[in-house]
Amino acid sequence: MNIKKNPIVSPVFTISAAIVFSAILSTTTQAATVSGGALTLNLNRDAIIAVVETDNFPDAPTVDFPMCCRPSLYLEEFYDASAASKTFAQLREGNTPDLYDLESDEISAVGLQYAVNGSTITPNPGGRQNRATTFAFDSNDLLGTATGSIGLGGVTRWRVDVAPPSNRILLGDMTLEYDPTEEGRTSGRSGWIITNHIGFDAGAFELFDVTTLLVGDSLTINGNLGFGWGFDHLGATAARLSDARIGTFSFQTTVVPVPAAAWLFVSGVAGLFFSSRAKRVRHE
């Protein structure tokens, strides 16, 4: 049994070193990827409401605005992987009783399950950016060799306390990926990140206090959720910079071998992947 807390990882590999190293990896490592399973998010709605500053209308009824009572941000709809064929517009407009923020429209943000996508996916409908899984690693050194990302099927729709019809936000078509440049930047921070791709590419959640457990062909990752910079436009910047925890996550999947030729290619471009990560501009 191999239980790991994320180590601090050097952020940059040179391309030439990675290519040389790939020749060694192809004969001495156990190349792997993931198949099946799911990511489960358990969001603390009170923690989210407390720090989101977009709160433009009264929380009690008034003559001019008789509807109540509306948190600054709450979950209105969750579409699982079976909704992959829906367009962006269908996700935004489907099952919408009205354009106003009503507390009765809120659903639980606990137990949201995103299925792991396969290595290929059907073509995306209009406005969607669902991603295939490209994740690859040496099963003897997951964090030191991880490249690519894990595609996750599912979309959430949030209500924001602003004037309709701009009061709905989609978050989904996400990927789970490991970025060693984020490792240990502050206490508890891991290199694991969940990235939103629907509508615009943005950090959805940063993951903290992460533990990985690899037993045989079963990989489990657990930890706490923090805001990604994609929430900054809602006023959550201060909470993100203070590494506020807003929930928990769990991830379970099956580890499967990668053909030797495919691993040779992946390991050969590992330096390019990590170098580009190191140069990414952080939105802070």
- Ranking 14-23, 106-115, 209-218, 273-282 by mean pLDDT, the lowest is 14-23
244-248, long-range: CB within 8 Å, 24+ apart, which pairs? Answer: 244/47, 244/51, 245/44, 245/47, 245/208, 246/43, 246/44, 246/47, 246/48, 246/51, 247/41, 247/42, 247/43, 247/44, 247/47, 247/109, 248/42, 248/222, 248/223, 248/224
Return the half-sphere exposure (C-beta side, CA atoms, 13 A cut-off) of residue 195: 18
Q: How does pLDDT run across 215-231, given as a tens digit for each residue?
A: 999 999 999 999 999 99
Q: How far apart are CA 123 and CA 49, in angstroms?
A: 36
Name the average pLDDT for the chain. Answer: 81
Q: How far apart are CA 94 and CA 91, in angstroms?
A: 6
Looking at residue 26, its pLDDT comes to 43
> Which residue in 29, 14, 16, 35 sits closest to 264, CA to CA?
29
Looking at residue 57, its pLDDT comes to 63
pTM: 0.79
Average pLDDT in the 15-29 region? 44
Looking at residue 213, its pLDDT comes to 94
Q: How does pLDDT run across 99-109, given as a tens digit for each residue?
A: 555 556 789 99
Residues forming a β-bridge with 226: 206, 245
Average pLDDT in the 124-140 region? 96
